[in-house]
Amino acid sequence: MTDLTDLGPAAGQLADLLANIADEQLTAPTPCAAYTLGDLIDHVGGLSLAFTAAAAKDFSLTGAGPSGDAARLPDDWRTTFPARLIALAEAWRDPSAWEGMTQAGGVQLPGPVAGNVAMNELVVHGWDIAKATGQPFRGDPASLAACLEFVSMAATEEGSDGLFDPIVKVPDDATTLDKLIGLTGRNPAWPAE
């Protein structure tokens, strides 16, 4: 068996970012154009439950599409969502999470693909939230490398079936993070003038 990808560093950073968001920031725009900050936080709360369930092959929480509505944020999201993120990382530390088929967002996926989607969601939306709130983002090298490899297989010049917007070109000598962000269709220099 190969080494499993550890979602812990990315989940921990996203949990830390959430803890530092003020209520007045919830209506702010994000690099994820379809979502305000509050919408994106709701999305993170939903995906953390869905991908934790996907790791356990519990399909009771994995059938719905992605959430993203700030009006659904519970009052205690600053504590419950970070706890969900830590549970997500822990669930994917079980080798059986990476085996066989599972489901997330109503889509059947091989375990390794679902784990990589979860990692990408943590890293990219962590970056989105950091940018939207002016917080630093320090993607760990292993998480960034795993995401770049995964996204490189799906990103296209035209966008990819609702997963990513069309690629934003970055210089050849760009950082791994900027390459990843560009492949997802986001501008690493967001907000661009």
Residue 17 has pLDDT above 90, yes or no: yes
Nearest 5°: CA angle at 58, between 54 and 63? Answer: 70
- The pair of structure tokens assigned to 34 is 């379809």
> Mind listing the pLDDT tens digit for each residue in 129-154?
999 999 999 999 999 999 999 998 87
Tokens found for residue 130:
């950091």
How far are the Cα atoms of 147, 151, 172 from residue 159, in angstroms, in the given order?
17, 11, 20
Evaluate whether 135 touches 17 at the Cβ level (below 8 Å): yes
Predicted pLDDT of residue 89: 98
Tokens of 123: 């890293």
Distance in angstroms (rounded) separating the CA atoms of residues 123 and 67 = 18
pLDDT in the model for residue 107: 87
User: Between 107 and 79, whose confidence is greater?
Assistant: 79
Q: Look at residue 48 in the predicted model and tell me its pLDDT.
A: 95
The predicted-structure confidence for 47-103, as pLDDT tens digits, reads as follows: 999 999 999 999 886 666 678 999 999 999 999 999 999 999 999 999 999 999 999
Identity of the amino acid at 117 = V
pLDDT at 193 over 70: no
- Per the CB < 8 A criterion, the answer to whether 104 and 117 are in contact is yes
d(CA 44, CA 66) in angstroms, rounded, equals 9
Structural domains present in the chain: 8-138 (1.20.120.450)
Distance between CA atoms of residues 121 and 141, nearest Å: 16
pTM for the full predicted model: 0.93
* Residue 19 structure tokens: 């803890």
